[in-house]
Structures are given as structure tokens and as C-alpha cells.
Amino acid sequence: YHETLPVPDNPVEVHALSIEFNRLLNSLNRQVIRDHQFVSDASHELRTPLTAIRGHLSLIRRHGEAHPELVPQSLEVIDTESLRMQHLIESLLQLSRMDHATLALALFDVTRLMQGLVAAQPPAGQRVTFQGALGVIAYANADTVEQIVSALISNARKYSPEDSTIEVLLQESGQHVFITVTDTGEGVPEAEKKRIFDRFYRVDAARSKEVAGTGLGLAIANRMTALNHGQLTVSDNQPRGSRFTLTLPAGKPLSEKKSDNI
């Protein structure tokens, strides 16, 4: 490394270089700690379903013949837990793929995308409504925007009552397009609002246990949002529930916008 870099003989430059080197080392250290934490969290999350699978396999092996009535229940657990592992692995792969990804950004009609997404919602469960002006254009990646809003709608469904309504609203103001997904569910406590975007974080593990999930959905959505040069935030709905807002660049690519302003 030092062979390819010109080593300065001026003490001021040496000092500046050592500060820069220290900064690099610190950031590398932080990255290593983050990666280590990630691997440890991921292993823990994968180990839980795997332990259940192996436990029930051993149960079947030892007692299956004498107590065949136990078998279907064990098979059910094995099925659920292996599906959970599959979801986890797919989500983990998606997260890691996005670490070095760049997205193809283009102009697209967000109104049409949202109308299609809302129309494709399953008829059972909560009602999902859409409101927005016609022909709102964003400069982003349509596929990932669809995935982000799908994840928000799916969460709204998971964390709100069966007979409630979920509202998808599309608005435009200046340089931004805002897509909000509002539910009347249990809401996100103030202290948890930042943390729900962290990998594997789920509000109140006991409460979340009843609802299937990995704690990776919002981390993926957040990362996709950043790749779209957007922002993803959560606030309270009144009198209850939560509102997630996805902000995207509006209209034309920035370079065209600049020349428009001249």
C-alpha cells in the first residue's frame, strides 16, 4: 500500500495523512462490528426455526410409530418453520444483494402503479382504498417502488384489525411525490419509531409473536428507498394506527429540472 502512495516528507502532510488513516481505520472497524452483529443476528434467527424442525423430527423418529396421532401436528410445525427459514433466507439474500446495487431510474406514472397495486389486493381481510390525482410522475425505479408500497400495505394488514380500512394516498408537492399508507391498527410507539427500520427489529417480541414476520421487511424497504433517492418515515395516525410515508423525487430527472429552471 505504501509503495503506491507517495509518502509525504512535510510534517503537516504526514499529520493530515495520519488523521485520514485513523478515520478510515475507525470506519472499517465500525463496518466490521456491524457485519459481525449482522451475522450473529442472522444465525440466531435461523437457528430458532431449525431447532424446532430438528426437535419435531426427532419426536417423530422416536415416538411416531407408537403414537401416530402426534405425527400430523409435528409435520405442521416442520412445514411452518421451514417456510419461515425460506422467507428469512430470501430476505437476507435480498438485503445483501442491495448492498452494492444501483437501480435503473426512470420516469413513470405512479398513479397507474398504485391503482394496479391496490386493485390486486386480495379481497379478503381489510379494505384497501386509493386516492390520488391522475398522472403523477416520479423519477425512480417502478419495480422497487411497488415492492416498498406492497410491504407497507402488507404490514398495515398484519398489524390492524380484520374489519378496518387501509388508505393509500398519493400526493405531489414541488420536487416530491408522497405515497402514504395509513392504518388504524396498533400503531408504533414513539420510542420504537426509529428502530423498526433496523434489521431484525420487531416491536415488543411477545406481541409480534402472534404475527408472522422476520423483522427484515422495513429494513429492505428502507434500503430500497435510499437507492431510489427517497425517504421512508413513520408517524401516528389519529386517533389510532400508523402512517408510513414514502417520499420520491417528482417528475423529471434532476438534470432536466435544472435546465428547466434556467
* Footprint on this chain of ligand ADP (rule: CB under 6 A): 155-156, 158-159, 183, 185-188, 196, 201-203, 208, 213-219, 242
Q: Tell me the residue nearest to ligand ADP as measured from the CB.
A: 213
- Comparison of 41 and 109: residue with beta carbon closer to ligand ADP: 41
Q: How far is the CB of 210 from ligand ADP (least distance, A)?
A: 11
- Comparison of 108 and 159: residue with beta carbon closer to ligand ADP: 159
Beta strands in 81-230 (DSSP E): 106-109, 127-132, 137-140, 165-173, 176-182
With CA atoms as reference, report the closest residue to 52 among 73, 79, 75, 81: 81
Q: How far is the CB of 90 from ligand ADP (least distance, A)?
A: 12
Contact 141, 228 (CB under 8 A): yes
Q: How far is the CB of 157 from ligand ADP (least distance, A)?
A: 8
Question: Cα dist. 233→145, 177, 222 in Å?
Answer: 15, 14, 9
Q: How far is the CB of 203 from ligand ADP (least distance, A)?
A: 3
- Comparison of 74 and 242: residue with beta carbon closer to ligand ADP: 242
Backbone φ and ψ of 238, nearest 5°: -105, 140
Q: How far is the CB of 147 from ligand ADP (least distance, A)?
A: 12
Q: How far is the CB of 186 from ligand ADP (least distance, A)?
A: 5
Question: CA 164: distance to chain centroid?
Answer: 23
- Comparison of 215 and 249: residue with beta carbon closer to ligand ADP: 215
- Comparison of 241 and 251: residue with beta carbon closer to ligand ADP: 241
- Comparison of 7 and 205: residue with beta carbon closer to ligand ADP: 205
The SS3 call for residue 130 is strand
Residue 249, C-alpha cell as written in the block:
423525487
Beta carbons within 8 Å of 174's beta carbon, 6+ residues apart: 250
Contact 180, 245 (CB under 8 A): yes
